[in-house]
Amino acid sequence: MTASVLIADDHDLARAGLAAMIGREEEFRIVAEARTGAEAIAACRDRPPDLAILDIRMPEPDGLAATREIRRVAPQTRVLILTMHDSLDYLEAAIEAGASGYLLKDASRTDILATMRRVLEGEAFFNAELVARLLRRVATRPVPPASVLDSLTGREREVLAKVAEGLTNKEIARSLGIAPGTVKIHVERIIAKLGVGDRTQAAVLAARSGLLPGVAAPP
C-alpha cells in the first residue's frame, strides 16, 4: 500500500531535493508540499497524510509548534522531523510535541527512507547518538519522590529499559526470550500506563524517573 507524504521546508531546494528522492520510491506518494508551519497544518487538517516530514526552523509557526498542532488536528498522521540542528533541546521538544522521528539532514538516503518506513510501521526512531546524549542528560535530573513508573510490572520495566536502549520489538524479543507480539503488547501497555504518546517519550520518562541506572552523566 502506498503511503501518502507531506514535505514542509521553507528552503525550496531542500524541499525539492527531498521530494525528488522520495518520489522515486513506489511505496511513497507526495501529496502536499508546504513552506510554512501554517501551510503544513492546513494541509494535514484538510487531507491528513500518513507521514509529515517537517523542518524545525520554519516560519508561521516553527516545526515544533506545527508538530503539536498536526498531532491535534490529524492524530493519525505521524511526524518526522528532518533538521540540521543536533540540539538536545530541540530533540526533547520534538519528542514532547509528539514527533515519531528526528533525523539530521546529513543522514544518508538509505537512512532517511528506512526511518520513514519504520515510523510508518508505528516504530519511533530518533538519531541514536542524540537520544543517548539526551537520556544521559535527563537521568541527572532530580528523581520524582513518587515515581510514575510504579504502575509498571517487572517485565514491563525490563521491556522499557530495552526500549530506552533503542532496540526494536524484534530485538527486545530476542533479548528477553519472548515473542515479538508479546513485546508489542507490553509496549502498548507501557505507553498507556505512563500516559505518553510513544515509546521514545516513555524512554525519556524512564530516564527522568531513575529506571535506567546504566544511563549516567558523562564524567
Partners of residue 33 on adjacent β-strands: 7
Q: Report the distance separating Cα 77 and Cα 74, nearest Å.
A: 6
For 93-142, the DSSP string reads HHHHHT-SEEEETTS-HHHHHHHHHHHHTT--EE-HHHHHHHHHHHHTSP
Domain boundaries, the chain: 3-126, 144-208
CATH of domain 3-126: 3.40.50.2300
**pTM of the entire predicted model:** 0.76
* Ranges under pLDDT 70 in the chain: 142-147, 210-219
- Does domain 144-208 match CATH 1.10.10.10? yes
C-alpha cell at 175: 533479548
Predicted pLDDT of residue 146: 53
Element holding 193 (H helix, E strand) = helix 180-194
Using alpha carbons only, give the angle 178, 184, 190 rounded to the nearest 5 degrees.
Answer: 105
The pLDDT assigned to 147 comes to: 67
Domain pair 3-126 / 144-208, same fold = no
The confidence score (pLDDT) of residue 219 equals 35
| The predicted structure's pLDDT at residue 145 | 53
Residue 38 has what pLDDT?
96
Grid coordinates belonging to 40: 503544513
